[in-house]
């Protein structure tokens, strides 16, 4: 059973998807982020209009919400998106840590419209040596020195 306001907010996300698509900003995806009954972040897909492959609706909304809230975390927030988040967006959502996610269309609906993320889902469990994009692994020990420095840093902001 959805929360009373879930349907209003998911409709707002769907409206953003439609409006952004009609303006030619990108694919038909929209997202709103709500805290205490107030929309603190809005986003629609802007990949093609900004030449930014990361400008998915959820990422745009997360950036706006975090700026509005003055925080890199979305605790106390609910993220509403017009479509089930792709793997990139799902990763960004988990990093942002909202309390809940509500989506409308499914990833199968997106695939039917030409937005198929199955390749990424298939690639994720593979060892990096077996993925389609050739991936090298070099200078691990040099890079680990930075992590060692981070671990002993006393003035870091934990996340």
Catalytic residues, by residue number, are 58
Q: By C-alpha distance, which of 94, 107, 92 is closest to 55?
A: 92
CA–CA separation, 125 and 139 (whole Å): 23
Q: What is the DSSP string of the chain?
A: ---TTHHHHHHHHHHHHHHHHHTTSSSS-EEEEEETTEEEEEEE--HHHHT-TT--HHHHHHHHHHHHHTSS--TTEEEEEEEPPPHHHHHHHHHH--SEEEEEE-HHHHHHTT---HHHHHHTTS-GGGSSS------HHHHHHHHHHHHH-SSPPP-
């Amino acid at each position: 059973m959805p929360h009373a306001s879930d349907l209003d907010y998911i409709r707002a996300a769907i409206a953003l998807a439609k409006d952004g698509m009609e303006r030619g900003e990108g694919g038909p995806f929209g997202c709103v982020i709500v805290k205490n009954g107030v929309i603190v972040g809005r986003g629609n897909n802007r990949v093609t209009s900004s030449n930014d492959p990361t400008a998915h609706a959820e990422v745009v909304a997360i950036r706006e919400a975090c700026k509005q809230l003055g925080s890199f975390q979305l605790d106390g927030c609910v993220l509403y998106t017009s479509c089930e988040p792709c793997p990139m967006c799902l990763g960004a959502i988990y990093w942002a840590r909202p309390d809940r996610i509500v989506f409308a269309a499914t990833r199968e609906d997106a695939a039917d419209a030409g937005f198929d993320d199955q390749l990424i889902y298939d690639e994720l469990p593979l060892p990096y040596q077996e993925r389609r994009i050739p991936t090298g692994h070099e200078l691990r020990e040099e890079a680990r020195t930075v992590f060692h420095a981070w671990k002993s840093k006393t003035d870091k902001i934990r996340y």
